[in-house]
Structure 1
Amino acid sequence: MDIRTVINRLPSVAKFILNFYSPFRGAGIEVEKMHLDEGFIRVKMPLTRKNRNIVGVHFGGSLYAMVDPFYMLILMHQLGEKYIVWDKAATIQFLSPGRGTVYADVRISPDELTEIRQLALNHEPVFRTYHLDIIDEQGQRIAAVEKVVYIRRKKPKGTRSLFRSKQ
């Protein structure tokens, strides 16, 4: 059984697997809550020697890693096998030094999913931009992240061409 199947069928097992995923474990990243059917994931990362930079605050790469895959993961789960979902682009702005445990809530609303399905009916690419904040224990914004996700509904198997037109 591949990881996508595990995530779709057993989200609680997927949370366990993600928490032992080497890049997350190495940075101290923990998936605290994972409700894929509700389109919600909460991630946290305490400041440790593993993710501290030279000036003693959270390393920027770890801050980004803690939110990187989750929009794609929620969309893949919610939309199912009939859709292709890829991360397209991302930016992160560091707003304040992270000195303790930081959190991020990743959400996709049912209305957003309805809109995506409507936009993808013609099998053309759909690009969606999502914004989220990484906050500390006091609720102060540590970083602002923007993610662009590519989504396309797959064409039925009988209509796919083996050769692309050279026009």
Structure 2
Amino acid sequence: MARRVSASTLRRVLNVWPPFLFAGIRVRAVSGDFRHARVELRQCWYNRNFVGTHFGGSLFAMTDPFWMIMTMQALGDGYIVWDKAATIDFIKPGRGMVSAEFDLGDDVLGQIRDATAGGDKYLHWFETDVTDTGGDVVARVRKQVYVRRKRPGGGN
């Protein structure tokens, strides 16, 4: 069963979740319908790498749970949703404050619902850019999410 929480509770919990808290990742917004989220990462002494730029693991971590959680919450209890795969491409050195935005559109949700209507699994790739304050792309993260309708009677 999907864990149902309010968007404000999710934002508060993620902001004190140790992988985010100790990396300096802050969830700034999660919309009430789970269709939008914004995350920021300010560069500090504890999240810099050897050459003084953002640690790549922190750039990836700031994007990690959002597509799965947003899809799960938007679809509701009738679906199984899991992260399946991920890639990250580092485009340029990240310095200072960086951010990522997540927008889950009706078109994507419709595509997922259509593809899973017969009980089949569906794998969807989401793409997120991590940008600096100048709007330049620092990293591009792709996340593949597995979705399937739950079987009637509780057997999944």
2:20 is aligned with 1:24: yes
Quickly say closer, same or farther: Cα 1:38–1:3, change in 2 above 3 A: closer
CA distance in 2, matches of 1:20, 1:43: 14
The amino acid of 1:12's aligned partner reads: S
1:155 to 139, 148, 151: 151
When normalised by structure 2's length, the TM-score is: 0.95
Aligned positions of 1:11-160 closer than 5 A: 11-37=7-33, 39-157=35-153, 160=155
Residue 77 of structure 1 deviates from its aligned partner by 0.4
Quickly say closer, same or farther: Cα 1:56–1:3, change in 2 above 3 A: farther
SS at match of 2:68: helix
CA RMSD of aligned residues (A): 1.7
Number of equivalenced pairs: 156
Contact 1:36–1:78 at 8 Å: present in 2 too? Answer: no
CA distance in 2, matches of 1:115, 1:153: 13
Structure 1: runs of 5 or more not aligned = 162-167
Contact 2:78–2:149 at 8 Å: present in 1 too? Answer: yes
When normalised by structure 1's length, the TM-score is: 0.89
Residue 118 of structure 1 deviates from its aligned partner by 1.2
Structure 2: runs of 5 or more not aligned = none
Residue 111 of structure 1 deviates from its aligned partner by 1.4
CA distance in 1, matches of 2:47, 2:32: 27
CA distance in 2, matches of 1:38, 1:73: 8
Quickly say closer, same or farther: Cα 1:102–1:18, change in 2 above 3 A: same
Identity of aligned residues (%): 43
Per-residue CA deviations over 1:127-163 (Å, capped at 9, x if unaligned) read: 00111110000001100111111000001017x48xx
The amino acid of 1:53's aligned partner reads: N
Quickly say closer, same or farther: Cα 1:11–1:51, change in 2 above 3 A: same
